[in-house]
Amino acid sequence: MQILYFSQSEQTIINYLMKRWKIKEELYQEMISTADTMLSLTQHKDWIKKTYHNGTDRDAYEKRIDQEIQELFSDIKLSIAELAM
């Protein structure tokens, strides 16, 4: 499996660790997807800070994004905890 996110050397290490730690492909893909989504949300939050002046609208947008990031973090934390079971 070759994912575009990593060099061939990095992917070799990832494949080894996935096998060694018995991480299923589905969990790996969930982690990649979560990381992508968190990055997008963080970039969107940065755009909001540059676009909107301080105020209620900006605060509401930032709060909503922070909540979404926290939910993603909680979901991936749960998945990792299930891995340890």
Q: Is the CB of residue 28 less than 8 Å from the CB of residue 18?
A: yes
Helix (H) or strand (E) segment spanning residue 5: none
Q: What is the pTM of this model?
A: 0.76
How far apart (Å, rounded) are the C-alpha atoms in residues 19 and 64? Answer: 37
Look up tokens 């939050």; give the residue. 45
In this structure, what DSSP letter does residue 53 have? P
Q: What is the pLDDT of residues 4-53, one digit of tens each?
A: 578 889 889 989 999 998 888 888 888 889 989 999 999 999 999 999 88
